[in-house]
Structure 1
Amino acid sequence: MDYFNAFWVGGLICALVQILLDKTKLLPGRVMVILVCSGVILSAVGLYQPLTDYAGAGASVPLTGFGQILWKGMKKAIDQDGLLGLFTGGFTACSAGVSAALIFSWIGSLIFRPKMKD
């Protein structure tokens, strides 16, 4: 049942984003920012953690989950370091994921030889 819940929640998030992209004139970069910010806001008001507990990777893998990780890191750092944690907590919490994305993207670019579109 865990796989099913992850599938339908993640699919619902992706479907809503696709509708947002198709029905508005928002550029993909702005939609990505909206997703991360909405993950932070939903985490701040306590609504996103129950969703990740229920759906697992279906809620933590989309960009809203990245917003949740940023919020958790900032909250923990603010509790420990005060106002300075506002600036350092998000970087500390998501550094492994961002580093992995950069490294694997670089390896992929070496393997597949990307080209610019004409």
Structure 2
Amino acid sequence: MNEFERYTIKNIDFKYPNAYYKLIELGLTDFDIWFFMEEKQATGIFEGMKNRYPDRNLIPFAKRSDNDDTACFELETENKVQLIHDFASSGWEQRGEYEDLWSWLKEAIDTLVDFSRDEEGI
């Protein structure tokens, strides 16, 4: 299994954005609080979200380790990233939207910095 396969859900009709492959190529997949899910975990969440949010076509790719927030692509929104609070009641799951993966990445890094500063007491 190559690195790209490690972080993509198999057997779905979805083309991950080029930025996603770029981050994997650079090894930028773990931001402490946020991390890219490996295929098995992402597939499990994908299947669960299909049941929890049947009106949405969410492709989860990253998870926040301290709560149920999940970053997803959505078929209908092209390259936008949807911030989903998984396990929330249908209709209440949406926590935010980012214009693209790069915008989400900035937020993930800001979260890492803030969390690390809090841990260090800065």
Shorter-chain TM-score range: under 0.3
Structure with the greater alpha carbon radius of gyration:
1
Using the size of structure 1 for normalisation, the TM-score is 0.28
The structure carrying a bigger helix percent of its residues is 1
Using the size of structure 2 for normalisation, the TM-score is 0.27
